[in-house]
Structure 1
Amino acid sequence: MSRASRPGHSRPTAVIVIAPDESSAEIVIEGHRQVVSGLAPHETRRAALDVATGYAAHIGQPVLVDARDANGYWRLIATPDGVVQPAEPTAPAQPRPQPPVPGQVPAPQSQVKGKKSGRLLVVGGAIALVVLLLVGAGLAIPRILPGSSDAAEEGEADENAIPLEYPAPPGFEPVVELSEELAPDTQPAVSRDGSVVVYVDPEERLNLIDADGSRLWSVDLPFDAAAGLGAPRFVDYGGESTIVMETADTLWFWPESGGTATNVELPESGSARYAGDSVLVRDDDAAYLVIDGELEEIEAPGSSVPMLAADDRALTAVVSGPWNWISPGEEDPEVVHAERPSEAGEMEAVLTALREYVIVRWEPLQGDGSILAFHDREDGSVLGSAAIEEDALEDVSHLSAPIGLDLVVYGPVLFDPHSGETAVVPGFTPEISVGDQVFGELDGNRVALDTSGEPSEVPEDAETPRGLLGDRAVVVHDGHLYAIPPE
């Protein structure tokens, strides 16, 4: 192991970040992470510094400490004999610790002393910083860092209440509870169930953080961040939840649980589609599923077209008629016939397949317009339907983003999967479904609709959420992601 954090610098670096409630701290030394905890704030700080001095004793040389909390940023020196003192004022700034080797994702870290860390407020720049008590040679050195007063230790100060510097979207407070800096021109992704968020940091590392704000792992990208096409995505691959990133010629997969990354080369004219649970690859001549690190070609029956992938199967459909589930090497597809809605006549068209749904337009039994129905992709049953005007779907974009867990939307039609109820909002263009709201545009204005279709105005400078991390909205602004709590 190299003892230098960067070439030409003589000291390794320890980065210590104290949780907002000061009950736990994360320590990163040479890419290795550890979490400590204490019954009181001063115990947490002492435990964090003990890790730094212990490492200094192990390697037999001083360790530079980057100390961070909500009040400031300090640079300290931890010596092999247990003394911690301020670093020289002229000491050069240190980069963040080096991550593991490219392609290797560390397994999630176990918690030290059996206590899980609280939400870590990790803010790029100088927002989330560590409160530390300097301890050396067995004696308490006078506090030189703010934020460690008796009042703070007694919980009188709410250090989570860092204001968001621009308006919050409807339903959320303008308060930052978690923040991370992003690599330029990159976007984070939140898992559909809201349990984790993944993003690329300025050091071009892929990071996974859970709903509590705890970092599960971090790994070097095996390619330049600028080469990535779009945000990371969560897919099923190899029987488990996996993060995939796409470049012009390769798909890269990292298991959410931790492990070694794998990659699959794309055909020359191929591109990946993410309408379902897994990745569907298509080129000019064929369609493929990604199975065991290989592209397996699938044969769509008749004139049907592959629409989405789920595990090792693909769903194909024709313009009007049943759809098929097929697997590589299987000659006989599983045919699914759509159930006819009670208010509908003949099928007009299979519009698209997204997530758990196949969306079909039907003729009405009476009157003009159409019936739009959300069908279960597995058995064809009708989950929800609504009458729409004839031209209601003219400019609808077949995007997968608005297909949420709590509120599904296709064009102007909103569908609540829990109740089966639908609402139609003519002229609405959806962008993304987030919890029980869907964000988009109505009559030229940015709005958020609830399950009944009732709009709330989105403030002019508010960012559209990218998803929910737990119950907090993840928004992106000025190169940072922020998690903000509900009202």
Structure 2
Amino acid sequence: MSRASRPGQTRPTAVITIAPDERSAEIHIEGHRQVVTGQVPTDTRRAALDTATEYAARIGLPVLIDARDANGYWRLVATPDGVVQSAEHPEEEPPLPSRPGTDPADGRAGRGMVIIGAAAVALALVAGVGIASWHLLPGESTASTEDPDAPALGHPAPAGFADTVVFDHVLAPGSRPGVSRDGEQIAFVDPDERLNLLSADGTREWAADLPVDGAEIIGVPRFVLYDGDPAVVLETSGELLFWPVGGGAPDSVELGTESSPQYVGESVLVRSEDERHLASGGELVEVGIPEGGGAMLADGDRVLVAVAHGPWSWVDPAGAIEEVDPRRPDEAGEMLGVVTALREYVVVRWEALRGDGEYLAFHDSGTGEPVGGAGIAEGALEDAEHRSGPIGTETLAYGPAVVDPENGESTVVDGFEPTVAVGPRVYGELGGSTVAVGTDGEPTELDEGAQVPVGLLGEHAVVVHDEHLYAIPPR
């Protein structure tokens, strides 16, 4: 593949191929493939060019564009400041800028109007068939969840979702993406060792060079609160790196050799031998834990501390304590004990009001009110794992119990081991098979080869296969 360049400068090339029906386009940039879709041809072209200009802004260098459709072939240049113009007119090209530092968003602000107008002018410079169809119009995101001609996923989709692709991205080897709990954003590390933040429609909000080797990253990117603001955190053996969701340089918080970060709450709780810490202002801040209590999770600048039986407390670094007394559910007798705390809930075992067994309830951690629960057999929680993944926004699961926190509806699926809640379904293992379960209690077995979603991005499930992430629409 040829690359026009100035002496001593090699430029990356984006190859844009518009599908014959003009409803989708494939973009290949430096070995990375992305698919965009549009309701109309102009939307498809705009989305494809946006991908190239965003990449140019991210790397701080012009990007050559080989654009092709059923009518012809064009060569363009996208500059870091959002201008798209003909590659056949080098005298009009701006000087090559120096590579920016750590802010990949340079030149992105305010470029929306520039790219639309400049791209139309650039394409007008290249006389030939099909120019009108490349004309760009302002508008919203081009991602479409109802495109019958969307690219195929290439392997079975999980229950409830279609086997077509809204968009996809290449992941760094061995890595996985993280989806915000509200489903509004996704973060992932790409093969160029950049942390990427995308919105629910697949638009890249920013990308930042990792300040450490990608092999040092432990786990997935996580969405947390840091000093009261939303952030994306990456963990290494020696530090936590917090990027503001709004963009900017990361804040580093050093970890000790005995430090163990936990992410079951909205903020990071760091365990260090007998001490418990919050990350704040670039350092670890100790929180004193009342005697007899155990630190369960962190939310903002507070730590939830629970005892085996009785009320739990919220404690801050200044020593202020707010006690929360759980209200007994109508279906329950005496409290048997606190099981765990996950996200905004405390899970409590109660005696069954009538008959044998127990009642497992999810309580609001701030008020103590029960939001739902289910009757379970004694010993049903012996093998339950304390996972925050099955604690979703529409569905909650712990052990065999699955609960809708909005209306309190629940079911019990004996032997179910939940792993992640995605919308109204909880995915997990049952009798050696991977299944999806809703509050109706009917397990749906996943087809062989189908991947369990890592989260819900807008209305799209995110699945990972062969070091690619795919956003797929609901069925």
Q: Give the TM-score, by structure 1 length.
A: 0.77
Distance 1:42 1:299, change over 3 A: closer
Distance 2:316 2:89 in 1: 63
What SS class does the counterpart of residue 220 from structure 2 fall into? Answer: coil
Q: Deviations for 1:413-442, whole angstroms, at most 9, x for unmatched residues?
A: 011011012211111000100000110111
Q: Distance in 1 between matches of 2:172 and 2:446?
A: 27
Partner of 1:67: 66
Report the secondary structure of 2:113's partner residue: helix
Partner of 1:337: 325
Q: Is the 8 A contact 2:228 2:301 kept in 1?
A: no
Does the CA contact (< 8 Å) of 2:262 and 2:270 recur in 1? yes
The verdict on how the C-alpha distance between 1:272 and 1:472 changes in structure 2, with shifts beyond 3 A counting, is: same
Identity value in percent: 42
Distance 2:446 2:358 in 1: 31
Question: Deviation per CA, 1:141-166, whole angstroms, max 9, x where unpaired?
Answer: 567x9x979xxxxxxxx696101101
User: Deviations for 1:257-300, whole angstroms, at most 9, x for unmatched residues?
Assistant: 11221010012200111111101000112000112222111111
* Distance change (3 Å), C-alpha of 1:346 and 1:366: same
Offset of residue 451 of structure 1: 2.1
Tell me which of 167, 176, 180 is aligned to 1:178. Answer: 167
Partner of 1:466: 454
Who is 2:144 aligned against?
none
Q: CA deviation at 1:345?
A: 2.5
User: 1:383 Cα deviation (Å)?
Assistant: 1.3
The aligned residue for residue 113 of structure 1 is 113
Q: 1:442 to 1:159 in 2, by over 3 A?
A: closer
Provide the residue aligned with 1:260 in structure 2: 249
Give the corresponding residue for 1:410. 398
Letter in 2 for 1:140: A
Matched, 1:314 2:303: yes
The AA in structure 2 aligned to 1:306 is: A
Q: In the alignment, is the contact (CA less than 8 A) between 1:173 and 1:484 conserved in 2?
A: yes
SS for the counterpart of 1:207 is strand
Q: Tell me which residue corresponds to 2:82.
A: none
1:294 aligns with 2:291: no
Give the AA of the match of 1:65.
L
Q: Which runs of 5+ in 1 are unaligned?
A: 29-36, 88-96, 117-130, 150-157
**Which residue is 1:379 aligned to?**
367
Quick one: structure 1 residues 434 and 251, their matched pair in 2 at CA, closer, same or farther if it must change by over 3 Å?
A: same
Separation (CA, whole Å) in 1 of partners of 2:473 and 2:151: 12
Which residue of the partner structure matches residue 444 of structure 1?
A: 432
User: In 2, distance between residues paired with 1:230 and 1:415?
Assistant: 28
The alpha carbon displacement at 1:26 in A equals 10
8 Å contact kept, 1:320–1:348: yes
Please state how far the C-alpha of 1:22 moved relative to its aligned partner: 7.7
Q: 1:27 touches 1:48 (CA, 8 Å); kept in 2? A: no
CA–CA distance in 1 between the matches of 2:209 and 2:157? 32
In the alignment, structure 1 residue 84 sits paired with structure 2 residue 87? yes
Deviations 1:222-269 (A, max 9, x none): 111111110000001122211001000100000111122101001220
Alignment partner of 1:176: what SS?
Answer: coil
Q: How far apart are residue 343 of structure 1 and its match?
A: 3.0
Counterpart among 140, 149, 158 of residue 127 in structure 2: 140
Q: CA RMSD in A?
A: 4.3
Find the aligned partners of 2:78 and 2:422 in 1 and give their Cα distance: 49
* Alignment partners' CA distance in 1, 2:420 and 2:44: 44
Partner residue of 1:125? none
Contact 1:160/1:176 (8 A) holds in 2? no
Change (3 A) 1:100 1:234: farther
Say if 2:196 is the partner of 1:193: no
Taking the aligned partners of 2:386 and 2:115, their CA distance within structure 1 comes to 45
Tell me, what secondary structure is at the counterpart of 1:170? coil
Give the aligned length: 431
1:126 is aligned to: none
> Of residues 206, 213, 234 in structure 2, which corresponds to 1:245?
234
SS of the counterpart of 1:162?
Answer: coil
Residues of 2 paired with 1:78 and 1:470: CA distance?
33
Per the alignment, residue 10 of structure 1 pairs with 9
Provide the rounded CA distance (Å) in 2 between the counterparts of 1:161 and 1:43. Answer: 12
Which residue identity lines up with residue 9 of structure 2 in the other structure? Answer: S
How many Å apart are 1:105 and its aligned residue? 6.2
CA distance in 2 between counterparts of 1:103 and 1:347 reads 53
Q: Conserved in 1, the CA contact under 8 Å of 2:64 and 2:78?
A: no
* Cα distance in 1, alignment partners of residues 189 and 4 from structure 2: 20
Cα pair 1:106 1:259 within 8 Å, conserved: no
CA distance in 2, matches of 1:113, 1:230: 39
String of CA shifts for 1:305-342, please: whole Å, max 9, x gaps.
10010100000011111111000022x41111111122
Cα pair 1:430 1:440 within 8 Å, conserved: yes
Classify 1:409/1:108 alpha carbon distance in 2 versus 1 (closer, same or farther; 3 Å).
farther
Shift of 1:369: 1.9
- Report the TM-score, using the length of structure 2 for normalisation: 0.79
Does the residue aligned with 1:346 lie in a helix, a strand or coil? strand
Conservation of the 8 A alpha-carbon contact between 1:374 and 1:383:
yes
Contact 1:205/1:218 (8 A) holds in 2: yes
Q: Aligned to 2:297, what secondary structure does the other structure show? A: strand
CA apart distance, 1:344: 2.3
Task: Decide whether aligned partners of structure 1 residues 355 and 336 sit closer, same or farther in structure 2, where only a CA change above 3 A counts.
Answer: same
Q: How does 1:352-371 map to 2 (within 5 A)?
A: 352-371=340-359
1:420 to 390, 393, 408: 408
Q: 1:460 to 1:68 in 2, by over 3 A?
A: farther
Change (3 A) 1:448 1:219: same
Contact 2:241 2:253 in 1 (8 A): yes
Task: Give, in whole Å, the separation in 1 of the partners of 2:318 and 2:424.
Answer: 41
State whether structure 2 residue 223 is matched by structure 1 residue 234: yes
Comparing 361-370 and 280-289, the one that deviates more: 361-370
Matches within 5 A, 1:153-164: 161-164=150-153
1:303 partnered with 2:302: no
